[in-house]
Amino acid sequence: MPVLDPRFAPRSGLAAPLSLAAGSAASDCAALVSRMASLSGRVSAAAPGAAAGLATELWSAGERQAVFELLARHALPSSPPRAEELALLRSLPVYPRLVSPDDGEAGSRTSVDAAAGYAACPQPLLQLLPRGAAEALPPSASRLLLAHRPEWQPLYAALGLPLLDLAALLAAFVVPHLGSLSDTQQVA
């Protein structure tokens, strides 16, 4: 991805990132994701779990954010992504959590697995919950909530991640963890 975004110039080894013709960023990004997914299949066979050989564990917070922004704006081709492309996109630790399970702060990033129960959650929904319910969610539940903005929804939808409404948030995240809430929070 260094060739698509100037924030990756230091890692690319290029004096300056390659420039893209106006209007071609989406198609170039989609083609890059396709090529990376093809490479990922070969790398994963040689070293399973290696996040497509991209050394994502070395990415800074800014680089993770830049990759996410790039994907959210340009990664989706007009046709549905292939299985290997989806696997690659899901493996990248770039998706912003709504609340970090480690320190309660928003902004940590994770890879996603639709089968694990990750879901996009608009921040205002948490304010509709009974007082203290969001904070009382166990880390196993809160780590699955991804930050959401409307412009990110096409990417999340392509990855198979649902967008929560209040009923879905209560059903999937709050009600199963009622036992971890205090009596006061349960009554609210």
pLDDT, one tens digit per residue, over 90-148 is: 989 999 998 765 554 556 899 998 789 999 999 899 888 877 777 778 888 888 999 99
Alpha helices in the chain (DSSP H): 9-12, 25-46, 61-74, 83-91, 123-128, 133-136, 139-142, 153-158, 166-169, 183-187
Identity of the amino acid at 121: C
Does residue 134 contact residue 91 with C-beta atoms inside 8 Å?
no
Could you report the per-residue pLDDT of 33-71, keeping only the tens digit for each? Answer: 655 555 455 444 444 344 446 778 888 888 889 889 988
> Can you give the pTM of this predicted structure?
0.71
* Residue 73 pLDDT grade (very low, low, confident, very high; cuts 50, 70, 90): confident
Query: Strand, helix or coil at 121?
Result: strand
What is the pLDDT at residue 80?
A: 74
Query: Strand, helix or coil at 43?
Result: helix
Question: How far is 168 from 153, CA to CA, in rounded Å?
Answer: 16
Alpha carbon separation from 62 to 68, 89, 159 (Å, rounded): 10, 18, 22
**Phi–psi pair at 29, nearest 5 degrees:** -65, -45
